[in-house]
Amino acid sequence: MALEDAKKQVDQAITRPDLKGLSFENAFGGVPSFMRRRYTKDLTGVDVAITGIPFDQAVTNRPGTRLGPRAIREASSLQVFDPPYGWDGYSPLEALAIADYGDMAFDYAHTPGFPDLVKTHIAAILEAGAAAITLGGDHSITLPILRAHADRYGPLALVQVDAHTDTWPDDDPVRIDHGTFCYTAVREGLIDVARSVHVGIRTVVEDNLGIEIIDARQIHERGPAAAAARVKAVVGDAPVYLSFDIDGLDPAFAPGTGTPVWGGLSSGQAAIFLRDLAGVDLVGGDVVEVSPPFDTGGVTAVAAAHVAMELLCLWGWTRR
């Protein structure tokens, strides 16, 4: 059946008749939507909407993450033929109605109004009854995304996989900075500090505002399964938002990012960690900081596409 479908399927991003099912379109051809889902702004009946925020004007080092959503979509075409490995046969592409909601439109030269646009964009998805999984973009986009989710769910348990905690102080309401989003989120009460965890950290943190840290060395020494167990114990039954900065991975596994730091997680460790989080009440998530201009062989985009698939699995696992 798969071979017969492969002979007929093309441009499923615009031609597929439904929102569920595997895809057998050639990985190297066609319009590159996320996981070959249909592009649509109609969220009727949609469980999860994938959307891109192609913004990188808040980076402290190398730019290029504005090109991240496009690269992640292209890389995701490698995963659409089978259920994801390690989830006991659970197949979110078949079980969930998933749509590619496209990228957010914005004026690239008018940054002051950008955060409010992001919040409105994500809020529209949530108000339609769908969950939002976001492809970035730099990490500054997570702050307005959290605002939209907190309006709906109240303070969130933040699980942040990252080389940096992004808790650098910043009390200027006009600034947009990918290294301060978590500081502002805590100050605004968007996240429940007691239920939040930073994972994979390997840069100096002067004040982490009370958020627990599981640093990269702990994961190397104790293993990703132990890290996942600790995260689950901390977040409990709280609504969870998971933000995965691709620089949480070591540059050997994710060279295409703006602020690479050695000593990070391997892609294998990340896979175990994410899969062992199964059972948390995930309400939304993002994968950010993929910079294709620095991405040797496209391996960073491939990793990010896998992270996004794991987010789909986590969201759907408790809603089977």
For residue 281, say whether it is annotated as part of any ligand binding site.
no
**φ, ψ for residue 300 (rounded to 5)?**
-70, -40
Burial group, residue 39, by CB count within 10 angstroms (0-12, 13-18, 19+): middle
Residues contacting 100, CB < 8 A, separation 6+:
13, 33, 34, 35, 37, 38, 39, 40, 49, 50, 51, 73
Reading the block at residue 307, the tokens are 């992270």
Is the CB of residue 200 less than 8 Å from the CB of residue 214?
A: yes
Reading the block at residue 111, the tokens are 């940054």
Q: What angle do CA 16, 79, 83 make, to 5 degrees?
A: 90
For residue 121, say whether it is annotated as part of any ligand binding site.
no
Rg (CA), the chain: 18
For residue 162, say whether it is annotated as part of any ligand binding site.
yes
For residue 88, say whether it is annotated as part of any ligand binding site.
no
116-135 burial, b if ≥16 CB within 10 A, otherwise e?
Answer: ebbbebbbbbbebebbbbbb
Per the listing, tokens 């900081």 go with 289
Reading the block at residue 245, the tokens are 């900065």
For residue 245, say whether it is annotated as part of any ligand binding site.
yes
Is the CB of residue 98 less than 8 Å from the CB of residue 38?
A: no
Residues contacting 112, CB < 8 A, separation 6+:
174
For residue 138, say whether it is annotated as part of any ligand binding site.
no
Amino acid sitting at position 183 = Y
Instruction: Provide the terminal-to-terminal Cα distance of the chain, rounded to the nearest Å.
Output: 26
Annotated binding site for Mn(2+): 139, 162, 164, 166, 245, 247
Annotated binding site: 139, 162, 164, 166, 245, 247
